[in-house]
């Protein structure tokens, strides 16, 4: 599967089809100690569906180009795009995007890409979102689409992060939203008095907080490879239809 935090791609890969668009950075926001969201105006973009991603290309002064793919956190019919990036210590592109990019800078984008790991308000039934770390990004687009459309589909999110400081979109997720239930899981440091001790997500977490398999929810899981594989295996063990469990995973180069 494709990766989201910093996906290795090749500019000439046959499945990457489309024109490059010149985008201008409108604003940036620190989301975590290693993460940042980036809002761009991209003339000619034309909007995207929740869950899609975009190729991003940087060109150095000597002509060297690097292409990476990032999830889109926004949903719109226009030309504004929000990405969110987690810095990889050995990354070529993410350190620049997180530490150096400024409003007014230009980036090239191609997309939107992807038509499988997506949700639209026309889809019926309950939706279970399960994210690990920066895997929240495409799930956030689904939550925003759900809210903006006024969809009555029940939504639940299980969001696993190392500590409270590592959560992307914290304030937005902490704001009560009709039709959305959010459960936080912490793997290393939990808030004082938190009922669940820090630790990786378990079958018991899924059985206690996720929609039951009997409801046949659409399930979207995104995060590091190990996290996604563990969660998907546990969901199937709990009786979820494997065909209704869609996954996206990411990792370093």
DSSP string, 192-246: TT-SSPS----HHHHHHHSPPGGG--EEEEEEEHHHHHHHHHHHHHTT--GGGEE
Return mean pLDDT, the chain. 91
pLDDT of residue 89: 86
pLDDT average, residue stretch 137-150: 97
pLDDT average, residue stretch 79-100: 94
pLDDT of residue 1: 32
Q: Does pTM surpass 0.75? A: yes
- Between 12-16, 113-117, 141-145, 195-199, the lowest mean confidence (pLDDT) is in 12-16
| The listed CATH number (3.40.50.2300, 3.40.30.10, 3.40.1360.10, 2.40.30.10) that belongs to domain 7-113 | 2.40.30.10
pLDDT average, residue stretch 173-190: 96
What's the CATH number for 127-250?
3.40.50.80
Closest CA to 211 of 168, 171, 241: 241
Listed in order, the ranges of the chain carrying CATH 2.40.30.10 are 7-113
pLDDT of residue 215: 96
pLDDT of residue 251: 63
Would you give the distance in Å from CA 216 to the centre of its chain? 23
Would you give the distance in Å from CA 63 to the centre of its chain? 30
d(CA 48, CA 179): 23
d(CA 186, CA 192): 12
pLDDT average, residue stretch 218-228: 96
Q: Is the pLDDT of residue 252 over 50?
A: no
- Between 2-6, 25-29, 74-78, 207-211, the lowest mean confidence (pLDDT) is in 2-6
* 63-72: pLDDT as tens digits: 899 999 999 9
pLDDT over 70 percentage in the chain: 92
Q: What would the two tokens of residue 221 be?
A: 């899981």
Who has greater pLDDT, 9 or 210?
210
Q: Is the pLDDT of residue 125 over 50?
A: yes
Only one residue has tokens 């889109």, namely 72
Closest CA to 137 of 161, 121, 153, 115: 161
Listed in order, the ranges of the chain carrying CATH 3.40.50.80 are 127-250
Beta strands in the chain, from DSSP E residues, in sequence order: 7-8, 20-32, 35-41, 53-59, 65-71, 80-86, 106-113, 127-132, 155-161, 180-186, 218-224, 245-250
């Amino acid at each position: 599967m494709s990766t989201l935090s910093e996906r290795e791609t090749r500019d000439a890969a046959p499945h990457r089809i489309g024109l490059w668009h010149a985008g201008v950075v409108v604003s940036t926001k620190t989301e975590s100690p290693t993460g940042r969201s980036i809002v761009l105006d991209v003339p000619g973009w034309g909007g995207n569906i929740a869950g899609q991603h975009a190729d991003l290309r940087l060109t150095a002064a000597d002509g060297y180009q690097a292409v990476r793919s990032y999830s889109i956190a926004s949903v719109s019919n226009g030309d504004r795009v929000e990405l969110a990036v987690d810095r990889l210590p050995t990354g070529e592109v993410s350190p620049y995007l997180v530490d150096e990019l400024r409003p007014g800078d230009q980036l090239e984008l191609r997309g939107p890409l992807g038509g499988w790991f997506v949700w639209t308000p026309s889809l019926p039934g309950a939706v279970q979102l399960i994210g690990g770390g920066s895997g929240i990004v495409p799930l956030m687009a689904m939550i925003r689409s759900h809210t903006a459309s006024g969809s009555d589909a029940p939504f639940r999110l299980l969001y696993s992060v190392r500590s409270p400081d590592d959560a992307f979109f914290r304030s937005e997720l902490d704001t009560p939203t009709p039709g959305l239930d959010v459960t936080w899981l912490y793997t290393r440091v939990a808030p004082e008095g938190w009922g669940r001790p820090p630790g990786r997500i378990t079958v018991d977490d899924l059985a206690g907080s996720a929609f039951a398999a009997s409801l046949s929810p659409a399930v979207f899981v995104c995060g590091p490879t190990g996290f996604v594989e563990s969660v998907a295996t546990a969901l199937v063990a709990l009786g979820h239809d494997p065909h209704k469990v869609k996954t996206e995973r990411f990792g370093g180069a």
